[in-house]
Amino acid sequence: MSRRRNRMTPFRFDPPLRIRGYPRPILTLDDAERYMHEQTEGRGHNREGVLRRLQAASDPEADLYAGLAFKAWLEAEGLLDR
């Protein structure tokens, strides 16, 4: 997984993201990255680009854009549970 582990203040989704058919809410970028690694089949729309952005996030600005990209990807795939 990514280098974010030693960050003092990790990025948090507020409110947490709920994904259709997924039992746990997505609270952090680490959760988002874990979800993308677990759910690999049938999700091709820019998946690799979003995953790379999550993995590369290393400062607050990059974290924000990675979080926005992940949420936009969920919406585009029809996975975000409102």
Is position 82 within any domain? Answer: no
pLDDT at 82: 76
Express each pLDDT in 5-47 by its tens digit.
455 667 999 999 999 999 999 999 999 999 999 886 656 778 8
Torsion (CA) 16, 19, 25, 26 in degrees, nearest 10: -60
Is position 81 within any domain? Answer: no
Q: What is the DSSP string of 37-73?
A: HH--TT--TTHHHHHHHHHH--SHHHHHHHHHHHHHH
pLDDT at 6: 53
Is position 63 within any domain? Answer: yes
Considering its fold, how many domains does the chain have in total? Answer: 1
Contacts of residue 20, Cβ cutoff 8 Å, sequence gap at least 6: 78, 79, 80, 81
